[in-house]
Amino acid sequence: MGKTTGKVAAVNGNMVVVEFDGAVMMNEVAYIETEGKRLKSEIIRIRGNRCSMQVFEITTGIMVGDNVDFTGEMLAIEVGPGLLAQIYDGLQNPLPRLAEKCGFFLERGEYLEPLPRDQKWDFTPKVAIGAEVSGGDAVGSVPEGIFDHLIMVPFHLTRTYTVKSIASEGAYTNQEVIAVLVDGKGDEYDIFLSFTWPVKRAVMSYEERLLPYEPMVTQYRIIDTFFSVAKGGTFCVPGPFGAGKTVIQQTISQNADVDIVIFAACGERAGEVVETLKEFPQLIDPATGRSLMERTIIICNTSSMPVAAREASLYTAVTIAEYYRQMGLHVLLLADSTSRWAQALREMSGRLEEIPGEEAFPAYLESTIAGFYERAGLVRMKNGSEGSVTIGGTVSPAGGNLEEPVTQATLKVVGAFHGLSRERSAARKYPAIHPLDSWTKYQGIIAKDQVDYAMGFLVRGTEIEQMMRVVGEEGTGLSDFIIYLKGNFVDAVYMQQDTYEAADKSVKPERQKHVLDLVISVLRANLDFDDMEEARSWFATLGRMVIDYNYTPWQSKECRALEKQILDVIEAKI
Amino acid sequence: MKKIYSKIESIVGNVITVRATGVRYGELAQIETGFGTSLAEVNRLDGDMVSLQVFIGGRGISTDNNVMFLGHTMRVSFSDDILGRVFTGSAAPRDNGPALLQHMIPIGGPSVNPARRIIPRRMIRTGIPMIDLFNSLVVSQKLPIFSIYGEPYNQLLARIAMQAEVDVIVFGGMGLKFDDYLFFKNTLETGAAFHKSVMFIHTAADPTVECLMIPDMALAVAEQFALQNKDVLVLLNDMTSFADAMKEIAISQEQVPSNRGYPGDLYSQLAARYEKAVDFETAGSITVLGVTTMPGDDVTHPIPDNTGYITEGQYYLRGGRIDPFGSLSRLKQQVNGKTRKDHRALMDAMIRLYSSYKETMEKKSMGFHMSSWDEKLLIYGEHFEREMMDLSVNIALEEALDLGWWILAKCFTKDESGLRTELINEFWPA
């Protein structure tokens, strides 16, 4: 088969139609050669000898008749040691190194090696000559930060191979062959420290997928206790602008008890990425004592960067997540925001003149969103170890209306829903996760009956509050009023949390359990009040005390002293 | 040698097509009509069919008009000479000055590498307490004023422009009433800020296509000034007209509309402009202040809604005042901890009390009994609205802080203020 050649036939926005000669593949990458630059593009439709390509760059300057160079490969990224602590754009261009080369602006047509070619890694072999391996099996490892980075047989080698040669212990770059495999027919395959994998194909080199069971602790009380997320599960955070989606994601990315966090800033403000970018290297991960950046990878395709690359960026992120999962690690992927990603699909669909669905989103919106979230999961490897990819996506519904297509398509496929409400954020109740709208399908860190008991007060309390708006406090019985106050109490001292207070920002499960026990003891108590005014002021005082208690470092002297006082106040009222 | 094409194949709305080869996407052409020459921009190529968006619109264009391709994209002149000048959406002079053709720079350039941005940390003082004290404006921030028609947003924008301590002001006017354009021009002139300003003006009577060029030209020029170590303030008024112009052109080009007729890329298009706001690591900065008029006072309308997701907060103009509840400066935390130590605490306390005042007002309007605390809140609310919120108040931040303490002391006891004892001891007026 000769090399396929092509020429530009039409240009419309970021879509280019190319007339080609030879064979092309769906999602194949091609470069448009214009004004001395090579612009990366991807084939998204083929009809006869014309294919439509989405261009990952600004298309200004392209001319009918420009040459197109087909690569014969699908859109792929390079995986291997050196990914951690990197900051990439949606196509795996390392942004800091790009800045060194091009300065302030993102010049188009500049593509750098995602992984440094000259860095040496200390390789330790794990297999002997003659061993039988297949895709995903480790042939050795190199240390990368705090991890033992497994060097795996590329995932596309799905049959069984015999190790013909393996490098001895020593330092190698990712350009050097470290092993040679041979298959049944005698064909040989060179193995390097890194390899490429197409982003739109899920990695399947594992034994089986398991049901997620272990909670992923975020140290947000309302999430861990009431709306938990399991390792290998999925969750979404929809909310109007200004409700605090990004703060929640940033806090989770710091606190989550996973091995690796991948932060995909997809079509959002550059300023927010910059905060992560500049602050993470300074923050210390309490679990390892190392900089948080060492366990983080940032994929950043902000709102003003080309739209087609935004579509690719989430796939790039999830592919890297799957790669580390294959080493038996727990990976959390945070995508902010999936709505911008869906909008990228919509823009492309419009250019392709496809028949639009609801709000002009393409008809395949649901299956595309489902396909993305389904790449999360807990899996057991062939060697018995377990690894997971957890996906959390924010959704930015138009007008804050959760009925819109992206939110609805997302709710269908996620395991937990953390709905943010403007009502709560306007009242400065943070995190603004609405306790009555949100739900989870995962078991949290606390027994279900306790959680349900506490939640019962909130539900009942809200009903009473609504009733009170009609009949006034005068028309409400004291016992109902106490239930209402108890509901408010759960909300104020447990569900709300102050991200700007050091001790309250991250609450370990141990403390969550302890505080919830205390809260429940108040809920269970048969409190004795003379009138509503007394009840209100008692709960106000107690609430203030528990919040102060939340702000003290766990098990410090002040913490114990305050707890004693709180218990005394409760004791006096029973 | 430039080829001239004299057969126009089709004219639909503002878009014409000609058969031509060797034309680049985004290239400019010049078209000679019976009413003078106009620029046109290539916005679609299909084989040898070239579609062009004509700046002056399709009206009066004849199928035998001459079209000449210029071999470059839309450009604008950049040098210190443009200061004190006014241009149209075609980059032609709107004042009586000479046309500038030196140092042409392309517009709509690539976005800034996020790795080269820095966390903003400098406050822009405006002399308006509702901004300086409650929602500080920060260098490199992008912030719209959400407003309904009839609110004094032009006056507010002009005041901020006059009082902000910046090196260069770039004004982009889109769909402006001619009177409003003159208002801004006169304000800048009388305020002696004209010599550091450049205006790109599209008035409501000008062709729609020119409206689309305004933000890109204004921001391209701003970017060059910023690269010369200048702090630039870009005023975009009104971005709703810009979005409506986009809608008009998208519909006439038969693009599938997404929400209320707006094109599916509304978010990306708005973001591409607002995201030009930047604080360069080793050079100047661009701060973008826009006006977004909200059709029907509806914040869920696609324009304010998409804008809210892009910008770093918003100032809500309502009833002639900046509403402290809807307004938000997402970057204020970066600067208001470094001004004076009572800044944050006073800001929170005053807003909390004002919110209680609003609740009391609601209770009062329903005829409920007013307690002595309610009475205090009513007095406080009145003071707050008159002495802080009124847009005519023009004082420095420190004075505003002192004023805040004075209002609190006038209305409440020390305990009732809810402020920390340490701050009360230092700042409570005797």
Residues B314 and B413 in one domain: no
The domain that holds A68 is classified in CATH as: 2.40.10.170
Q: Is the separation of the CB atoms in A23 and A43 below 8 Å? A: no
Comparing CB atoms, the residue among A99, A240, A302 nearest residue B116 is A99
Domain count, chain A: 4
Residues B317 and B359 in one domain: no
Q: Given B315, B333, B351, which residue is the final one in a domain?
A: B333
Comparing CB atoms, the residue among B45, B310, B325 nearest residue A303 is B310
Q: Given B23, B46, B73, which residue is the final one in a domain?
A: B73
Set of chain B residues whose Cβ sits within 8 Å of the Cβ of A346: 258, 264
pLDDT digits (tens, 9 = 90+) for B107-126: 988 999 998 899 998 999 99
Is B338 part of any domain? no
The domain that holds B68 is classified in CATH as: 2.40.10.170
Residues B94 and B241 in one domain: yes
Does the N-terminal peptide bond of residue A437 adopt cis geometry, omega within 30 degrees of 0? no
3-state secondary structure B109-159: CCCECHHHECCCCCEECCCCHHHHCCCCEECCCEEEEEECCCCCHHHHHHH
The domain that holds B274 is classified in CATH as: 3.40.50.12240
Domain that holds residue A257: 207-437
* DSSP states of A319-374: HHHHHHHTTT-EEEEEEETHHHHHHHHHHHHHHTTPPP-GGG--TTHHHHHHHHHT
Residues A226 and A286 in one domain: yes
Is A113 part of any domain? no
Residues A521 and A418 in one domain: no
Residues B175 and B314 in one domain: yes
Residues B109 and B46 in one domain: no
The domain that holds A189 is classified in CATH as: 2.40.50.100
Residues A153 and A238 in one domain: no
Residues A495 and A427 in one domain: no
Residues B398 and B317 in one domain: no
Is A96 part of any domain? no
pLDDT digits (tens, 9 = 90+) for B351-375: 989 988 998 898 888 877 788 888 9
Residues A192 and A247 in one domain: no
Tokens encoding A411: 């709710």
Residues A23 and A160 in one domain: no
Residue of B141, B251, B268 best to disrupt the A interface, most CBs of A under 10 A: B268
Is A14 part of any domain? yes
Is B39 part of any domain? yes
Residues B257 and B325 in one domain: yes
Residues B68 and B95 in one domain: no
Is A84 part of any domain? no
Give how far the C-alpha of residue A87 lies from the chain's centroid of Cα atoms, to the nearest Å: 15
Is A98 part of any domain? no
Q: Given A197, A216, A236, which residue is the final one in a domain?
A: A197
Q: Is the separation of the CB atoms in B313 and B135 below 8 Å? A: yes
Test B265 with A347 for CB contact under 8 angstroms: yes
Residues A217 and A173 in one domain: no
Residues A231 and A309 in one domain: yes
B68 and chain A: CB distance < 8 Å anywhere?
no
Q: Given A386, A404, A437, which residue is the final one in a domain?
A: A437
pLDDT in tens, chain A (574 residues): 468 899 999 999 889 999 999 999 999 999 999 989 999 999 999 999 999 999 999 999 999 999 999 999 999 999 999 999 999 999 999 999 999 999 999 999 899 999 999 999 999 999 999 999 999 999 999 999 999 999 999 999 999 999 999 999 999 999 999 999 999 999 999 999 999 999 999 999 999 999 999 999 999 999 999 999 999 999 999 998 878 888 899 899 999 999 999 999 998 888 888 888 888 888 888 778 888 999 999 999 999 888 889 999 999 999 999 999 999 999 999 999 899 999 999 988 988 888 988 888 999 999 999 999 999 999 999 999 999 999 999 999 987 888 999 999 999 999 999 999 988 887 778 899 999 999 999 999 999 999 999 999 999 999 998 888 778 777 889 999 999 999 999 999 999 998 878 899 999 999 999 999 999 999 999 998 998 889 988 998 898 899 889 999 999 999 999 999 999 999 998 8
Residues A60 and A18 in one domain: yes
Residues B167 and B269 in one domain: yes
Domain that holds residue B27: 4-73
Domain count, chain B: 3
Residues B110 and B226 in one domain: yes
Is B190 part of any domain? yes
Which region holds residue A377: left if phi is over 0, alpha if psi is between -120 and 50, else beta?
Answer: left
Residues A378 and A354 in one domain: yes
Tokens encoding B11: 């004219």
Residue of B45, B51, B113 best to disrupt the A interface, most CBs of A under 10 A: B113
Q: Is the separation of the CB atoms in B401 and B343 below 8 Å? A: yes
B348 and chain A: CB distance < 8 Å anywhere?
no
Report the distance separating Cα A130 and Cα A110, nearest Å.
43
Is A56 part of any domain? yes
Residues B94 and B155 in one domain: yes
- Global model pTM greater than 0.90: yes
Q: Given B333, B364, B386, which residue is the final one in a domain?
A: B333
Is B111 part of any domain? yes
Is A179 part of any domain? yes
Residues B319 and B350 in one domain: no
pLDDT digits (tens, 9 = 90+) for A105-151: 999 989 999 999 999 999 999 999 999 999 999 999 999 999 999 99
Is A23 part of any domain? yes
Set of chain A residues whose Cβ sits within 8 Å of the Cβ of B263: 350
What is the distance in angstroms between the Cα of A547 and the nearest Cα belonging to chain B? 16
